[in-house]
Homo-oligomer: A and B are copies of this chain.
Amino acid sequence: MSMIITISREFGSGGRELGRRLAEALHIAYYDQEIVKELMERTGFALDYVRQAEERIPVPLLPITTARTFGIGNNSAIEQQLSIYNHESDIIKELAEKSDCVIVGRCADYVLRDMDPVRIFVYADIESKLARCREKGPDAKDMTDRELRQRINSVDKKRSRYYQFYTDNIWGDKENYDICINTSARDIKRLSLLLAELVKGIKS
C-alpha cells in the first residue's frame, strides 16, 4: 500500500519540521525544494515569483470554479498564477506517483485526494507558536509579541484563503483531515517518531 502523507499546518506550530522528521522516520521522500525547483523550470519564472504565487490567490474571495464561470480568469497576471498552481499540482501528483512521500502545504491533501493520503493537520496554542517562532525564526528577534502575533495570524489567514480558493474546503476544519495534532508544549522530534508509528499502523 502506498504511503502518501500530507501536512497542513498553522504557522509556528512546527508542522514543517514534523513533516520532515516524519519522512526521515519512515524512510520516505520529503518533497519541498524539489517542487519549487521543478516549478521554476516548467514555468520559467524566478524563485521569488514562484514562492509568492505559492501563497497568494489571484482573485480574492471567489473560489476557482466561480472565477472561471464568470470569466474572471481572463487576465494575464491571474492566468499566470493559476497556471503556476496547475503546474504545481501536476508536479505533486507526479512525485507522489513516483514514490512514497511527505508533502507539506500546497493543498496536497486535496491535490492527492484520489491517492488516499494520510492527511495530518498540525496546530498549537498561540503561546507555543510565539515561543517556537522566537526559537526558530531569525526575523522574530526584532518583533514585539504583538507584532509576532499579528504575523502569525496574517500568515494563517493567507493559508486559509489560498486553501479555500483552490479546494473550496475550509482550511483547518478537522473533517478534511485524518489526524489533527496539537503540538503545544510538545517536542516535535519525539512527536514525529510517535506519529510515524501511528501512520505506519494505519497504512499497513
Binding site for B on A (CB under 8 A): 121, 123, 125, 172, 174-175, 177-182, 186, 190-191, 193-195, 197-198, 201-202
Knowing A175-B123, A180-B174, A180-B179, the reply to whether A194 touches B202 (Cβ < 8 A) is yes
Could you tell me if B194 and A194 are in contact, using CB atoms closer than 8 angstroms?
no
Can you report 21 residue pairs joining A to B where beta carbons are below 8 Å apart? A172-B174, A174-B174, A174-B182, A175-B182, A177-B182, A178-B181, A178-B182, A179-B179, A179-B180, A179-B181, A180-B180, A190-B201, A191-B202, A193-B201, A194-B198, A194-B201, A194-B202, A195-B198, A197-B197, A197-B198, A198-B198
Contacting A202 at CB < 8 Å: which of B174, B178, B179, B186? B186
A174 to B123, CA, bound (A): 9
Residues of the B chain whose Cβ atoms lie less than 8 Å from the Cβ of A174: 121, 123, 172, 174, 180, 182
Shortest Cβ distance from A126 into B: residue: B175
Shortest Cβ distance from A201 into B: residue: B194
| Cβ of A204 to closest chain B Cβ, rounded Å | 10
| Cβ of A128 to closest chain B Cβ, rounded Å | 11
| Cβ of A10 to closest chain B Cβ, rounded Å | 10
A194 to B194, CA, bound (A): 10
| Cβ of A24 to closest chain B Cβ, rounded Å | 17
Residues of the B chain whose Cβ atoms lie less than 8 Å from the Cβ of A193: 201
A125 to B173, CA, bound (A): 12
Residues of the B chain whose Cβ atoms lie less than 8 Å from the Cβ of A190: 201
Other than the given A121-B174, A197-B198, 6 more pairs (CB < 8 A) read A174-B174, A175-B182, A179-B182, A191-B202, A194-B202, A195-B198
